Amino acid sequence: MAEDDQMPESITPRVMHTPELTGNLRAHSVRLPKAAQEASGIRVLGRTIRSIVYTTDLAIIRNCDADAVFAVYPFTPQQIISKAIMEASSIPVFVGVGGGTTAGPRSAMLAQDAEGDGAYGVVLNAPASYITLEMVSRVIDIPTIVTVVDGDEDVIADRIAAGASIINVAAGADTAQAVARIRASFPDVPLIATGGASEESIRATVEAGANAVICTPPSSKELFSEMMSRYRESAEIHPDASSARGLSAASLREIEARLEEIRDAGFLDR
């Protein structure tokens, strides 16, 4: 190694903060509670997922800071809905494939279609039979997520044995306690859990042992209500030209140089 190529004795300290870039038009977006990012995360197909937004609203999916989408809804799963969500989403999507009324071979078929369309995982509801779970987990190569409503260790063990890759804990107000109970018996099983709406409840769920947290965003109606309130309070709702971003000093110098060239060429004298 040449003398000039030697490493310097002192190295500049690395940047310790995370730069955040946004735009004027996209600055208004749904921010999930920061406590969700305190979770350890689950690495799914190369993507680390800590915060999961629970919605099928494409506008919210495209304008939120979640790591993934939990696309489960109270109707029988339909491929056209799942495909539309995955095509519009810029983040991984976990797709509901039934487990209650929709079950057995139909759930397995929906899971295969979801995998083919790009899902990062499929979700079975709590009533899903073990046979349905076996069918689904055997025909796909993406994670199978199974919802449980309490911390029963025997149920968890049987779910894992039948093919569950990830356990989703949805125990209402008792979710944090159920997560803690499951984590004590299954220290390595990936756990997703509903975290509630507040920073405190989400942090409690994370501290109990959830690897990722599901957050429910405000509805479009709620978001519009806040926006319209601001509009009504403002005397002038239309931005004027003065609010536009001005030219940088470098751009102004370049414009002056070009104008000088034009003057020197005599074009402005005509």
Tens of pLDDT along the chain (270 residues) come to 555 566 566 777 776 677 767 766 666 678 888 999 999 999 999 999 999 999 999 999 999 999 999 999 999 999 999 999 999 999 999 999 999 899 999 999 999 999 999 999 999 999 999 999 999 999 999 999 999 999 999 999 999 999 999 999 999 999 999 999 999 999 999 999 998 878 999 999 999 999 999 998 888 788 777 777 777 776 555 555 555 678 898 998 898 898 888 888 877 765
Report the domain count for the chain. 1
CB 37, CB 66: distance < 8 Å: no
For residue 15, is it within any domain?
no
For residue 266, is it within any domain?
no
CA angle 120-105-157, nearest 5°? 65
What does DSSP say about strands 121-124 and 212-215: parallel, antiparallel, or unpaired? unpaired
Q: Which residue's structure tokens are 């690897």?
A: 211
CA distance 192 to 195: 9
| Residue 51 φ/ψ region, left for φ over 0, alpha for ψ in the -120 to 50 degree band, beta for the rest | beta
For residue 64, is it within any domain?
yes
Count of beta carbons in the 10 Å neighbourhood of residue 151:
23
Q: Which of 57, 135, 75, 124 is nearest to 95 (CA)?
A: 124
Q: Which residue's structure tokens are 């319209």?
A: 228
* Domain containing residue 142: 34-220
For residue 261, is it within any domain?
no
For residue 99, is it within any domain?
yes
CB 167, CB 178: distance < 8 Å: no
For residue 38, is it within any domain?
yes
CA distance 139 to 51: 27
For residue 237, is it within any domain?
no
For residue 111, is it within any domain?
yes
Give the domain CATH number at 53: 3.20.20.70
